[in-house]
Amino acid sequence: MFGISALWHGWALTDLSELKVNLSTYLLLSGSAYLIIALGLVLLVRLCIIREWISLKWGFPWKGMAIGAVSGILVYLVILLSGLSFANHGFQHVVVDLLWQVVEQAVGGLMVSLGIIYDLHRSFMETEQAQ
């Protein structure tokens, strides 16, 4: 998520040229924020699995993406309401930023779900080797 965010804001939108802080400070703070968001996604997906709100049997990566997309909306609302956006470019900028945040967090949800699948597969293979 951090990498595609850097591509989006640095290359596609050139927002990073409008920074009011050092680039290294921005990267440190945004990297920390993305670690917290990723931890939240992992905990949320694990909670959904434990409570059996989602199943691992059918369409699990899609459900992980949906959880990520919803968290993207929530993250964007926090950013919008706290005024941490790069610039104020009107309604079109708000819509594009919201859509981008949804896509970015959906990719994060997909990566979390694929990581969980990998971890479960690895645990299964270790169990099979022990028997």
* pTM summary value: 0.79
Task: Give the span between the Cα atoms of 29 and 5, in whole angstroms.
Answer: 13
Whose CA is closest to 9, among 97, 95, 88? 97
Task: Give the span between the Cα atoms of 127 and 118, in whole angstroms.
Answer: 14
∠ at Cα 108 (69, 60), nearest 5°? Answer: 75
CB atoms within 10 A of CB 128: 8
CB 103 within 8 A of CB 72: yes
Q: How confident is the model at residue 22 (pLDDT cuts 50, 70, 90)?
A: confident
Q: How far is CA 85 from CA 82, 93, 98, 123, in A?
A: 8, 10, 11, 42
Whose CA is closest to 9, among 81, 92, 93, 73? 93
pLDDT digits (tens, 9 = 90+) for 25-66: 888 988 898 899 999 999 999 999 999 898 888 889 999 999
pLDDT of residue 63: 94
pLDDT digits (tens, 9 = 90+) for 94-116: 788 889 889 999 999 999 999 99
Q: How far is CA 115 from CA 17, 30, 31, 41, 111, in A?
A: 34, 22, 20, 12, 6
